Amino acid sequence: MTSNETIKLYEKYVISNYTRLPIVFVRGEGSRLWNAEGRCYLDLFPGWGVDGLGHCHPRVVEAIRAQAGKLLHVANNYYMEPQGELARLIAQRSFGGKSFFCNSGAEANEGALKLARLATPPGKHKFVTFTNSFHGRTLAAISATAQPKYHRGFEPIFPGFSYAPLNDLAAVEKLVDDETCGIMVEPIQGEGGVNIASDDFLRGLRALCDRRGMILIFDEVQTGCGRTGKWFGYQQSGVTPDIMTLAKALGGGVAIGALVAKPEVAAKLVPGTHASTFGGNPLACAAAIATFQAIEEEGLLDHVTQIGEYIQGRLTALRSKFDFIRDVRGKGVMIGMELAHPGAKLVERCLAAGLLINCTHDTVIRMLPAMNITRGEVDEALGILEKGMGEE
Ligand SMILES: Cc1ncc(COP(=O)(O)O)c(C=O)c1O
């Protein structure tokens, strides 16, 4: 099919709830994508953070092929080897947490909110979350998401959520009362503009939760699975949550989410309280296991730290040339460059020149490059970006 033929199918048969760019991708390899007409693009925002190993990592592809020939799906009232193995890999690289598997970030957060209520005494039901957070699109997840634009049209949202500015512990303390059962925070806000929660702030949240008998949830849907240069974002601060949620890069391109809870908290999720038909199926778990193995065998955590510093260094150096760069921030391969004006035009210009990046929160150019992106690919991408910025 030509790109136009595919786009026509969408116009006729696919609900238009996304603003789509008129490109039809048919093939991907590493940090490169090809459209239906054979044009090659360099991708610094692969799958909104899902393709953490780039597109179609051979190890992940092979694991999927092998698993597909053995067992695709059995119900969760039986046992499956890949699910047990993946849970072990996560536990041994995190805080010894036990996993519940689902299919997306929003579902993982839904599960985490439900578990927090189960794991605290009756009467505790409220949550504190943070301005500019993003936790997904289900009703509970948008209620946790402190951005009015995601609530519009869906009011009333769930009661019991209140919002504090990020890094303002005093504001959180004011919102907490005896009915508060948990606090949910992204260690680095992604969609909200790549805003880093300070170590002191996270330590303060931990102490507050301990003091008030509340559950601390880290939404690691974007920061998890190596993105920041550690296995999980919480390891950057040394502050351990009671529950963390994962999705995006976990499956190396395949849909899978997880909530990971300290064993004593996890124990409250007893039969009948929560479930997911597809959650933890052998195919998705095999892809996730291969993702973990590739990260380890290819030494990608170190590479992420180094290449992330290199990218941030190059972007920071551009500040002397372009005074409209307000800030460069992030960790590992989660990078934001805040401009003094909207970034949409720059994203469009880069796209026309063959580079995929993202703009979030109107003015923040966001990049979530693959963990295995090479120095050469980064240089090529930043060359395109710099040229685009020269035309601002
Ligand atoms: C931090 C965070 N939480 C939750 C979600 C929702 O994940 P999903 O779209 O898989 O439901 C996202 C998606 O961008 C996210 O960045």
- The answer on 159 and 144 residing in a single domain is yes
Q: Could you tell me if 187 and 334 are in contact, meaning their C-beta atoms sit under 8 angstroms apart?
A: no
Give me the CATH number covering residue 350: 3.90.1150.10
Per residue in 344-387, pLDDT (tens digit) is 999 999 999 999 999 999 999 999 999 999 999 999 999 999 99
Final residue belonging to a domain, choices 230, 264, 297: 297
- The answer on 210 and 287 residing in a single domain is yes
Of 102, 103, 135, the residue with max ligand 1 atoms within 8 A of its CB, to mutate for a pocket test, comes to 135
Entry pTM: 0.98
- The answer on 242 and 289 residing in a single domain is yes
Final residue belonging to a domain, choices 297, 330, 362: 297
* Lining residues, ligand 1, CB within 6 Å: 48, 104-106, 109, 134-136, 186, 190-191, 219, 221-222, 247
Q: Could you tell me if 301 and 230 are in contact, meaning their C-beta atoms sit under 8 angstroms apart?
A: yes
Q: In the chain, how many domains are there?
A: 2
**How many A from CA of 387 to the centre of ligand 1?**
31
Give Dmax over CA atoms of the chain in angstroms.
60
What's the pLDDT at 50? 98
What's the pLDDT at 27? 98
Identify the domain containing residue 96 by its residue range: 59-297
- The answer on 239 and 315 residing in a single domain is no
- The answer on 354 and 339 residing in a single domain is yes
- The answer on 306 and 257 residing in a single domain is no
Q: For residue 312, which amino acid is it?
A: Q
- The answer on 253 and 373 residing in a single domain is no
Give me the CATH number covering residue 91: 3.40.640.10
- The list of the chain residues with pLDDT below 50 reads none
- The answer on 312 and 218 residing in a single domain is no
Q: Is 248 a catalytic residue?
A: yes
Per residue in 34-78, pLDDT (tens digit) is 999 999 999 999 999 999 999 999 999 999 999 999 999 999 999
Q: Is 201 a catalytic residue?
A: no
Final residue belonging to a domain, choices 275, 297, 319: 297
- The answer on 64 and 124 residing in a single domain is yes
Catalytic-role residue among 126, 248, 262, 331:
248
- The answer on 280 and 136 residing in a single domain is yes
Closest to 41 (Cα-Cα) out of 252, 347, 251, 294 = 347
User: Which 8-state DSSP code applies to residue 158?
Assistant: P
- The answer on 132 and 163 residing in a single domain is yes
What's the pLDDT at 352? 96
Catalytic-role residue among 51, 219, 232, 242:
219
**CA pair distance 152, 158, nearest whole angstrom:** 13
Q: For residue 73, which amino acid is it?
A: H
Of 110, 133, 134, 244, the residue with max ligand 1 atoms within 8 A of its CB, to mutate for a pocket test, comes to 134
- The answer on 324 and 219 residing in a single domain is no
What's the pLDDT at 17? 97
Q: What is the 3-state secondary structure (H, E, C) of 72-86?
A: CCCCCCCCCHHHHHH
What's the pLDDT at 105? 98
Buried b (16+ CB within 10 A) or exposed e, 263-283: eebbebbeeeebebeebbbbb
- Positive or negative torsion for Cα 245, 238, 303, 67: negative
